[in-house]
Amino acid sequence: MSVTDAPRIVTRRLGTPRSWTLETYLADGGYQGLRKALTMTPEEIHEQVNTANILGRGGAGFEAGRKWGMLAKPTPVYLTINGDESEPATFKDHMLIEGDPHQLIEGALICAYAIGADQVFLFVRGEFPLGIERLQAALNEAYAYGAVGKDIFASGWSIDVVVHPGAGAYICGEETALLESLEGKRGYPRIKPPFFPAVVGLYGAPTIVNNVETVSNLPWVMLNGGDAFAALGEGRSKGTKLLALAGHVNRPGNYELEFAKVSFRDLIFDPSLGAGIRDGGELKAFIPGGASSPWLGPEHLDVLLANEKIAEVGTMAGSGSVVPMDHTTCMVRAAWRIVRFFHRESCGQCTPCREGGGWLEKILQRIENGQGRESDLDLLMDVCDNISPGVRWPPAQTTICVLGPSMPPPVASGIRMFRDEYLAHIRDGRCPFPPDRLPGKLASV
């Protein structure tokens, strides 16, 4: 077991009584990182962040420092923090927002200062009203404390921060859809080019979009230096990573672990972490990085939790959510449920995703209910291919954004890894797992 002794960077205060208040935060060195940052030049901060090599924690794993470096220079410049967390089985930002909102605000301010932002928007998933309340209350405290607003800490630097609630649409986590939503529109992802909000973003102005966890690292990095951060982890994957473990484990939860030092096996089986499969069951497969990532099987348990290591086996670390599934899991049903999610959340803008999602869902539903045909497997793969040509990872796409191409991986993984199980459904005219068709009333849909 190679669970490390790395410090906890973003989750340190969680569990402390009233961890979300300014009082608690200040008692634990709160806003010292910002104070220190304000004594530095934006370039110096950027340098530290480059040294730290913080990979974006929102899913794409793009280096934060590199992203900031792409910022086009005309003003105004905006900073938008992505707290729309809705990726299935991902619940880490939720916890950071509710449990340590000041850390998020401080991180956002450091980022804003470093990139020369004119205004900051904290976009929080609308279904987190408690998080929004706490974040807003923290922001109010921060204004009163002098950490936000005019002439912050008498440094001469001023900025406004706005907490913006979403309203329930997974696609608004996609950064350009998020910006459209923030502009008060339907959350349609923008077509590329331009490729980066850093060039054309909110209201057409250069905009940095960073994930909640990404910027929550910044206070620590400011205080301890980019080197200290980079001393953790390995390769591209530096520092620690917050992993959301859900599904058939004994101890689901969020775990902050040093990058590249811990394997999936550790995460799932270490008694201090996942503590093994529930009810002593057997691991059948696991989703390694969010619902859109291609699945892995037990043979991949020793892959280290590092972005590039996970990419090497043809999938992704994504948002850091890991979902082990035990031997009682029907893989058709699992794929169906994930596809159903993406289908329901498709913005509807582009044809392959809008129509393909529903089609895939219907075929999978039919197979699960015992009405499949053998040709359905080829059909499934071909429909997948028409959404994401080649059905490879990272995906090619006929769509505007990668929501559409998130549908093929669970289907393709399932067919690749569990073809016999699919065929059994078709051959026997029913699902081999109880209940023998889709749960409950959905079976008849």
Partner 1 sequence: MSETARPYRPPYVTQSAVGTSPPNPPVTDDTVTFTLDGKERTAPKGTLIITAADQAGVYIPRFCYHPRMKPVGMCRMCLVEVTGPRGATLMPACYNPVTDGMEISTDSKTTKKAQDGVLEFLLVNHPLDCPVCDKGGECPLQDQTLAYGPGESRFVEEKRHWDKPIPLSSLVNLDRERCIQCGRCVRFAEEVSGDALIDFADRGDSTEVATFPNEPYADHFSGNVVQICPVGALTAQPYRFRARPWDLEQVESTCTSCAVGCRTAVQSSSDELVRYIGIDADPVNWGWLCDKGRFDFQAVNSPERLRVPLVRKGDELVETSWPEALALAAEGLGAAARIGHGDQVAVIGGARLPNEDAYAWGKLARLALHTDNIDAQLGDGLPAETVLGLPRATIDQAAAAPVVITLTGDIKEELPVLYLRLRDAAQKGRSIIELSPSTTGLTRYTKVSLRYRPGQAPALAHSLVAGDVPEVKALLDEAVEKSAVGPAIVVVLGRPSLAESADSVAEAARVLARLEGVAFLSGLRRSNVHGALDMGLAPGVLPGRVGLDEGREWYSQHWAAELPAARGLDTAGILEAATHGRIGGLVLLGADPLNDFPDSGAALRGLAQSRFVVAVDTFLTDSARKADVILPAATYAERRGTFTNVEGRVSWLGQMVTGPGVAWPDWMIAAELAAHLGTDLGFSSLEDIWAEIERVSPLHAGVTYDLLSSREGRDGVPVPLGSGGDLRTARLLDPMADPGIQSTESHLVSPTEFFGAGAGRLPADPSAAAPEMPAAAGRPPMLRPPLAGGASSSASASEDAGDLLLVSGRSLWDAGTAVAHSPSLSGLHPKPAARLHPDDLGRLDLAAGSIVRVSTARGSLDLPVAAEPGLAPGTVAVTFNLPGASAAGLIDSRGPVTKVAVSATAERGVPHER
Partner 2 sequence: MARLTPANEERARQLIALYPHHRSALIPILHILQGQDGYLSEDGMKHVGELLGLSAAEVRGTATFYDMFHVEPVGKYVVAVCTNIACMLQGAYELLEAAQDQLGIAPGGTTADGMFTLEDAECLALCGNAPCATVNWRFFGDLDPQRFAQLTEDLRAGRLDAEVPPHGTLSRVDRNVGLGAPGQSVHGAGGPPPPVDVAAAAGGPHDAGIELATSLTMTAVIAHEGGRGLDHTGTRTDAPGGTDSQDQR
Ligand X SMILES: Cc1cc2nc3c(=O)[nH]c(=O)nc-3n(C[C@H](O)[C@H](O)[C@H](O)COP(=O)(O)O)c2cc1C
Please count the other Cβ atoms lying within 10 Å of the Cβ belonging to residue 234: 15
53 binds ligand X (CB under 6 A): no
Contact of residue 358 among ligand SF4, partner 2, partner 1, none (CB under 5-8 Å per partner type): partner 1
Q: Which is nearer to partner 1, 72 or 301 (CB)?
A: 72
263 binds partner 2 (CB under 8 A): no
The Cα diameter of the chain in Å comes to: 74
Q: Give the residue, chosen from 53, 103, 214, 413, that forms a contact with ligand X under the rule CB under 6 A.
A: 214
Scanning 51-59, 85-93, 361-369, 401-409 for contacts with partner 2 by CB under 8 A, the matching segment is 85-93
Q: Which is nearer to partner 1, 263 or 349 (CB)?
A: 349
173 binds ligand X (CB under 6 A): yes
What is the rounded distance in angstroms from the CA atom of residue 175 to the CA atom of residue 178? 5
Instruction: Output 433-441 pairs: Cβ under 8 A, ≥24 positions apart.
Output: 433/328, 433/329, 433/330, 433/333, 436/370, 437/368, 437/369, 437/370, 438/333, 438/336, 438/365, 438/368, 438/369
HSE-up of residue 151 (Cα within 13 Å, Cβ side)? 2
Q: Between residue 136 and residue 175, which ones bind ligand SF4 under the rule CB under 6 A?
A: 171
Placement of tokens 């209940």 in the chain: 435
Distance in Å from the first CA to the final CA of the chain: 46
Minimum CB separation from ligand X for residue 62, in Å? 5
Minimum CB separation from partner 1 for residue 178, in Å? 14
Minimum CB separation from ligand SF4 for residue 247, in Å? 25
Phi-psi domain of 283 (left: phi exceeds 0; alpha: psi -120 through 50; beta: other): beta
Annotate 343-381 with b (16+ C-beta within 10 A) or e (fewer): bebbbebbebbebbbebbbebbbbbbbbebeeebbeebb
**How many binding residues for ligand SF4 (CB under 6 A)?**
14
What is the rounded distance in angstroms from the CA atom of residue 139 to the CA atom of residue 145? 9
The closest alpha carbon to 99, from 176, 174, 8, 170, belongs to 8
Q: Between residue 385 and residue 404, which ones bind ligand SF4 under the rule CB under 6 A?
A: 399-401, 403-404
Q: Give the residue, chosen from 236, 355, 370, 433, that forms a contact with partner 1 under the rule CB under 8 A.
A: 355
What is the rounded distance in angstroms from the CA atom of residue 83 to the CA atom of residue 308? 24
87 binds ligand X (CB under 6 A): yes
Contact of residue 349 among partner 1, partner 2, ligand X, none (CB under 5-8 Å per partner type): partner 1
Contact of residue 1 among partner 1, ligand X, partner 2, none (CB under 5-8 Å per partner type): none
User: Residue 81 is inside which H or E element, if any?
Assistant: strand 78-83
The answer to whether 336 touches 361, Cβ cutoff 8 Å, is: yes
Q: Which is nearer to partner 1, 397 or 413 (CB)?
A: 397
9 binds partner 2 (CB under 8 A): no
Scanning 137-145, 294-302, 395-403, 413-421 for contacts with partner 2 by CB under 8 A, the matching segment is 137-145
367 binds partner 1 (CB under 8 A): no
Distances (CA, A) of 388 to 35, 78, 370, 374: 47, 33, 27, 22
Minimum CB separation from ligand X for residue 272, in Å? 27
Minimum CB separation from partner 2 for residue 93, in Å? 8
201 binds ligand X (CB under 6 A): no
88 binds ligand X (CB under 6 A): no
430 binds partner 2 (CB under 8 A): no
Which stretches does DSSP call E strand in 332-397?
Answer: none
Scanning 34-42, 333-341, 373-381, 400-408 for contacts with partner 2 by CB under 8 A, the matching segment is 333-341
Rg for the chain (alpha carbons), in Å? 22
Residues forming the site for partner 1 (CB under 8 A): 169, 180, 183-186, 188, 190-191, 193-194, 200, 203-204, 343-352, 354-359, 362-363, 366, 379, 385-387, 389, 396-400
Binding site for ligand X (CB under 6 A): 56-60, 62, 64, 67, 82, 84-87, 171, 173-175, 209-211, 214, 401-403
